[in-house]
Structures are given as structure tokens and as C-alpha cells.
Structure 1
């Protein structure tokens, strides 16, 4: 294994010296008392400043398009036990975890990866080895890709953490961004590590990159790429062996690259299976669906909205509707344009008829809404605006996606109840 554990902290090609206070080294032990991690306590001011700098500093420019595929490790023994892992290194993949990794390998078999970056922790390295298969290139391990450091929490069962730490454990559950333990703000530190990872990944000459890591750090990688702060921790949960994909496009002016979130938490099992996500029960769900294939696949962006679906598009929409049969979708929001509206209609028809098998059955009603914000013209418009210095200029629809994540991630506070919410929009989203 090649290791980048000692690589210098560089933010977008240059050193950043942060104002810090004199620190005294100390040792944090996991509850199993078998592993020591050398850390230095940070003040709230230091941690907050680092977080703010990570949000403001643009990504380094790139010369060629780059695709980055993020994968979380398979189920581990501590996942199975419900134990808090953090950056401890005592759990290994279960048989189920090995099978999940093999399924992910099959999912990604057509991807011609140039390089693989992996967390140095056993559960991730083993997942990376399974997915990487017989490729000759070595896997690069990077300490910054380790899971979130949870210090004294590590190794505890969740009920033990609640009993032992009380208010601190409660804050970890409900206000993770401001959670403090042993003089550290773990989520803020994680966001800083994620930005440091992007610097190294984007600086590598490869065009197709596989990154195998963990739930929290992969969340942080996605969030920092699309401009979400630490308050969105746990909004972008990554399931065991879930796959997320980001595309980085060279900026025409040579600045920070354009960024497109291509896939988010595509799982080895059903991507819409009910139950839990990353071990946590889900109370609300947003499903993003691309419209079916159109009559003119080479249509320009300005004419894309006028396109009807072709026969392949109809079949694709029907297959998507079948995929969603396990869910009771209550609302479908779509672009008003033809292909999107057609896709939405097909899905709603299947949903409404799904429970109606008897002669006296009354079809379930699925609410449908058309929103101009999902129109291609509306989506492309933000990318032409002047972006303040020091901020990323996100590719095509990322500002739109962030807006909707922000709106619907807090939907429970409005008092509304949504079983499932499906967006039907253009493939450029």
C-alpha cells in the first residue's frame, strides 16, 4: 500500500497558516483501551475558523475532466453490533459486508479507474481491495480519509454512550456541528479533512478516481464539493457500500472547477428500499428521477424542454415506476416540460394502480405538481451569474440541488407529512 498519511496540509495549492494557541499534546484512547490516537485539543475559535476557511477557499483548477466515485465500506462487525466506531480500527467486514463489496465491484465493473484512494482503516481497505480486484496499480491509503474522530465515544454501544455522557451524547445526536468532546469539534475537523482530501484528489493526474472510505467522511466530501456546511451533517447519509459520484469539469477561465453531483448513495440493494439509511431510521425521503430518453438525444439545451419521450424513454419511465413500487409515493414534483411531465405521469399512474387489485378498490391519489424551477432554462441561469471571489462556481444545477436539499431536509419543521417525494427533472440535473 502507498500512504499519503504524512502529506502536508495544503488548501488548493498553497499553505494556509491558521492562528492557533499553544497546544499541549495528549492521548485519546478508545473504550477498548487497545488503541491510542495522538491529538491536540483545539479551541472553538480555531475549529470554527478552519471550518469557515474550508468553506471559502476555492478548489484548485484542473486541466482535464475528472470523475470521482465515492464508496462507503461494507457492513462491519461494529456496524452489526451497533457500536460507535469513529476512527478506531478494530472492526472488520462481516460476510454480508464482503458480499456488499462484491456487489459494488459488479456495479462499477465498467468504470476504468486510474487510481484508488482508501481510508487506512481495515474495513475500508478490505472493501477497496475487493472492488479494485486484479488491477495492478497499488491502492493509495490516506489518513485524511479515516472516519470521523469521536475520541472517548469510540467503542461504546449507543446506549452506553447515552448513559455515560448524557448531554454530550444528546448534542451529538441533535446538534452534531457544535458537538464537543475532549476539547475537539469532530464534525468541524472532519469538514477540514474533507477539503484537504479534495486538494490531493484533484491534484492527482488521474481522470477517473475511486475513493473508498466511510459514512461520515464521504458525507463531508460530498457536502464540501457542493457547498454545504457542517450543519448538513447526516443529511447526505451513505449506506454500506453506497456509491456517490461527482464530476469535476475544468473551468473555462482556469479557476475552480465546475462541479456536478452525478449520483448520491446508490446502493448495492434496492436504492429505494424502506427501513433505515446508514443504520438510522428515515422519516422522510426525496427521490430524484431523470426523465426518459427523448426523440432527439442531441437536442440543444434550449430545445430540450420541447422534446417528447421516444419509445425507449417510455420503457425507461415504466421501469422506474416499477422500481418505485415498494414505496407509496404521495407527491411527484416535475418540470412542466414534456419529457419530465410524461415521466411523472407514468410513475403516478403506476403508483395509483399499485394497490388496486380488486374490483371494488379505490385508487390511491398521488398529488402532482409542476414547478418552473425544474426547467432547464431556470437551472442553467445561475451558472451565468457572477460568483463572488473565493467561492466555487458550481456546475449547472448544483445551486438548485442545494436549495432543494435545504428546503426539504427541514420539511418536518413545517408540520407537513410526506411519505415520499419524487422529483422528475432533466438528465442535466
Structure 2
């Protein structure tokens, strides 16, 4: 059995401004750094790990570095944990997208599994690579606990895969900034869910934008 502690990165300016982030390399803001530090302390105390892997985008690596420091570890980049490529939507606000791509924007909310972003990816593309990354980590770390730090889209599709859901149920899962999810990869190839979208460790910090 391998225990996976799946974390979403901390808050960025584009979270506050409600912009499609995707593969834009946006840094954590000051509050996001506080969230990351609180998450590191929480995991070290409650869900300790022996290794930390992260999407190579800075908002994820900064979060992973805070988690790794709390464990006396070094964070390692893992390409498969990259956020979705939103293509032409990247950097735009929802209002801007709704004006420029009204039909596709409606589809994103109503049938997200059908959408390919102009110049970008589909949810199926992201799911293929995050599941491959998960399989690689499980193979490297039998009988150990490992942290993966990624993004809301990547986390949601990975959790859909773990739950045995299709990507049509994408919106059924929430992933707040620095949310913690825990699941066990059993030796028979099944998964046991332990925790979803936990943000109790952020209590006492200023309220974050929940997007």
C-alpha cells in the first residue's frame, strides 16, 4: 500500500482576480505563502510523508517546498502533475471567456468532459498524464507515504480516476487552495479514500478566495 497526500497549491494573484491560470507560471501571493507554510506544518504533524513531488509551475513548487522543508526533505518536479493547458483562455477572466466563447463556456460548466480548449487540452489529456504520474510514484514508493502538489483541474481529474468516476463528474469535487486529500493505493490496484478537500489547517489565516 502507498499513501498519497494530494495537495492543491496555495493562493495566487490570479486566484484573487479569478483568471484562468492553466500553465501560466504564476507565483504564490503573500497569503498563498502563508497557506503553504501552514500546510507543511499540518502534514508533518498529521500526514507525514517521505517524499514530495510537484508540478513544475512555481505556484506548485513553492507550495511543495514549504511542505518539504517541514519534513526536512527536498521537493522534486514531476511533469505529469502540470495544470491543464487552457490555450486561448489562459489569463482571461470568466466574463471575458463568456463573451468570446459563449457556447464553449456553457459547455465547460454543463459538460466539461466534452470541451477541448482552443489551442489547449481536454480533461482526458490531463487525466492520462496525472494517472501515469501517480502510477510512477506508487511504483517508486511501496509501503510509503508521498505528497503530490498540483492544481485544481489536475487534482479533480485524478480524484475522479481514483473514485472510478468519469470526467463528466468533474464539478462534483471541490479543491480549495492548499486543500489536502489523502487516499491509499492498495496492493490489489484499488484505492481507499481517507480525506477530501481538507482545509482545517488554514483556520486562523485570513479567508482565501475559494476558486
Fold match, TM over 0.5?
yes
TM-score by length of 2: 0.89
What displacement does 1:181 show? Answer: 2.8
Aligned to 2:9: 73
Match of 1:232 among 166, 169, 173: 169
CA–CA distance in structure 2, aligned partners of residues 135 and 277 of structure 1: 27
Aligned to 1:140: 76
Indicate yes or no: 2:37 matched with 1:102.
yes
What RMSD in Å do the two structures reach over aligned CA positions?
Answer: 2.0
Q: 5 Å matches for 1:381-396?
A: none
CA–CA distance in structure 1, aligned partners of residues 4 and 96 of structure 2: 37
Aligned to 2:85: 149
CA–CA distance in structure 1, aligned partners of residues 111 and 209 of structure 2: 19
Seen in structure 2, the aligned counterparts of structure 1 residues 184 and 147 have a Cα distance that, compared at 3 Å, is closer
Aligned to 2:122: 186
Q: 5 Å matches for 1:1-400?
A: 65-89=1-25, 91-110=26-45, 111-133=47-69, 135=71, 137-182=73-118, 185-205=121-141, 207-251=144-188, 256=189, 258-267=190-199, 268-269=201-202, 278-279=210-211
SS in 1 for 2:172: coil
Seen in structure 2, the aligned counterparts of structure 1 residues 148 and 84 have a Cα distance that, compared at 3 Å, is same
- Flag the structure with higher helix content: 2
What displacement does 1:212 show? Answer: 0.7
What displacement does 1:180 show? Answer: 2.3
CA–CA distance in structure 2, aligned partners of residues 138 and 72 of structure 1: 18
SS in 1 for 2:10: coil
Aligned to 1:308: none
Seen in structure 2, the aligned counterparts of structure 1 residues 228 and 116 have a Cα distance that, compared at 3 Å, is same
CA–CA distance in structure 2, aligned partners of residues 137 and 105 of structure 1: 11
CA–CA distance in structure 2, aligned partners of residues 158 and 130 of structure 1: 30
- Largest Rg, 1 or 2: 1
Q: Which structure is higher in RCO with an 8 Å CA cutoff and minimum separation 6?
A: 2
Unaligned runs of 5+ in 2: none
What displacement does 1:246 show? Answer: 0.4
Consecutive aligned runs of 4 or more in structure 1 exceeding 6 Å deviation: none
CA–CA distance in structure 1, aligned partners of residues 100 and 148 of structure 2: 35
TM-score by length of 1: 0.45
What displacement does 1:144 show? Answer: 1.3
Q: Deviations over 1:8-63 (max 9, x none)?
A: xxxxxxxxxxxxxxxxxxxxxxxxxxxxxxxxxxxxxxxxxxxxxxxxxxxxxxxx
What displacement does 1:205 show? Answer: 2.7
Unaligned runs of 5+ in 1: 1-64, 280-429
Q: Deviations over 1:215-260 (max 9, x none)?
A: 1111112111121111011211210000000012223xxxx2x311
The number of aligned residues is 205
SS in 2 for 1:195: helix
